[in-house]
């Protein structure tokens, strides 16, 4: 079993959120997400469940029509095929553990890439 921690893997991107892959199998993908203030994962709806556990910072996790205001130790679970997105507040960084099952396909991440290119959280 892989072992790491947020401090060891920490990396921030100037232009967009960053992730560090911790584990991947045919059934599960585990990443650590690092968001500068205001950075986000655009709203999309892949065919996988996701668990988002906030380690530090504050922000919003979209689950369908609901925006959950999140902070340290909060956990949000979003079922497959339900719209989801993550956005850090404008006043600080956000770090979160994201576990997806099964891992989303490359095609299912097209809306994420498009939203980042257009710089829109909710396309």
Q: The domain that contains 33 carries what CATH number? A: 2.60.120.10
Domain that holds residue 47: 6-118
pTM across the whole model: 0.94
Give the pLDDT score at 123.
Answer: 82
- The answer to whether residue 123 sits within a structural domain is no
**Does residue 11 belong to any structural domain of this protein?**
yes
How many structural domains is the chain composed of?
Answer: 1
Whether residue 50 contacts residue 100, with contact meaning beta carbons closer than 8 Å, is answered with yes
Q: Kindly state whether residue 54 falls inside one of the protein's structural domains.
A: yes
Residues facing residue 33 across a β-bridge = 19, 96
Residue 31: the pLDDT is 97
- Decide if 99 is inside a domain: yes
Going from the C-alpha of 44 to that of each of 9, 11, 41, 123, the distances in angstroms are 25, 24, 9, 9
Residue numbers of the chain with a pLDDT score lower than 70 = 1
pLDDT confidence of residue 1: 56
Tokens 């029509």, located at residue: 65
In the chain, beta strands by DSSP E: 18-24, 29-35, 40-44, 49-56, 59-63, 66-70, 75-78, 84-88, 94-101
The answer to whether position 72 is within a domain reads yes
């Amino acid at each position: 079993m892989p072992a790491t921690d947020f401090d060891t893997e920490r990396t921030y991107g100037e232009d967009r959120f960053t992730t560090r892959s911790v584990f991947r199998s045919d059934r599960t993908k585990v990443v650590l997400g690092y968001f500068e203030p205001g950075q986000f994962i655009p709203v999309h709806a892949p065919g996988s469940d996701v668990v988002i556990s906030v380690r530090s910072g504050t922000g919003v996790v979209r689950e369908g029509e609901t925006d959950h205001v999140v902070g340290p130790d909060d956990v949000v679970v979003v079922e497959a095929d339900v719209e989801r997105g993550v956005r850090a507040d404008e006043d600080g960084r956000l770090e979160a553990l994201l576990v997806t099952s099964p891992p989303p396909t490359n095609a299912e991440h097209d809306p994420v890439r498009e939203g980042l290119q257009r710089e829109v959280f909710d396309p």
